[in-house]
Amino acid sequence: MKPKLMSLAAAGAMFTSFGCTAAAEKIEKVNVTPEKVLIAYFSYSGNTRYAAEQIQKNTGGTLFEIKPVKDYPAKYDDCVAQAKKECNGGFKPELVSTVKNMDQYEVIFVGTPNWWYTMAPPVLSFLSNYDFSGKTVILFVTHGGGGMANCENDFNKACSNAKILKAQAFSGSNIKKADSELKKFVNDRIIIKQ
Ligand SMILES: Cc1cc2nc3c(=O)[nH]c(=O)nc-3n(C[C@H](O)[C@H](O)[C@H](O)COP(=O)(O)O)c2cc1C
């Protein structure tokens, strides 16, 4: 995490819900074949991409990068300022591409960084582009200290007609040490039929 975000992350940490690990919670498992699994993610600085790639390895599913037509500013402070306005306003940026064969997918993992306590705006756009009825959706989040914050609630509202399994948040700065945690995240939720 870059130093400039320390204060934002520290503020976020105050609002962290400790529910994100769902220790005692029983999570329903779904049976699925690899070709019916989609892992869609947005990533600005690579952490969520890394998590998505691990989930892909553990499922054999298809990766889809959620990319806005207009890239976010490369300068971190400018990105943080733009994101603040967009997140507060519920802005949905136009995306570069759509999943052409969404019908083929039964389980969709959706990855986002925690941006200003919620999902990054391109993920909101992605969710509004499809009808998820009959599908199972699973959110994963990477964060800079603020944990899940409002991401799960906002996700659940955005795809209310889907079957929603328990979301999980991962520390962005530790993501490269979280392979086994990511594997468990997958195995606690789906059973891959070969
Ligand atoms: C615009 C912006 C806003 C952020 N807001 C938060 C926040 O509210 N809480 C938090 O814990 N981390 C926040 N972060 C840190 C990111 O959630 C964290 O670094 C994440 O792992 C980045 O994922 P990525 O590398 O896939 O983009 C923010 C980062 C950016 C760039």
The ligand 1 site (C-beta within 6 Å) comprises 1, 5, 8-9, 12, 43-49, 79-80, 83, 113-117, 142-146, 172
Number of folded domains that form the chain:
1
Using DSSP, state whether 82 is helix, strand or coil: helix
Mean pLDDT of 55-81: 98
Would 23 be classed as within a structural domain? no
What mean pLDDT is predicted for residues 43-71?
98
Rounded-to-integer distance, Cα 38 and Cα 60, Å: 9
For residue 152, what are the domain limits?
3-16+31-189
Q: Under a CB-based contact definition with an 8 Å cutoff, are residues 165 and 27 in contact?
A: yes
Residue 95 has pLDDT above 90, yes or no: yes
Output the domain CATH number for residue 90.
3.40.50.360
- What average pLDDT does the chain have? 90
Indicate the pTM of the whole model: 0.90
Let me know if residue 24 belongs to a domain.
Answer: no
Label residue 22 by pLDDT band (50, 70, 90): very low
Exposure string for 153-170, b = 16+ CB within 10 A, e = fewer: ebbeebbeebbbbbbbbb
Only one residue has tokens 């986002």, namely 112
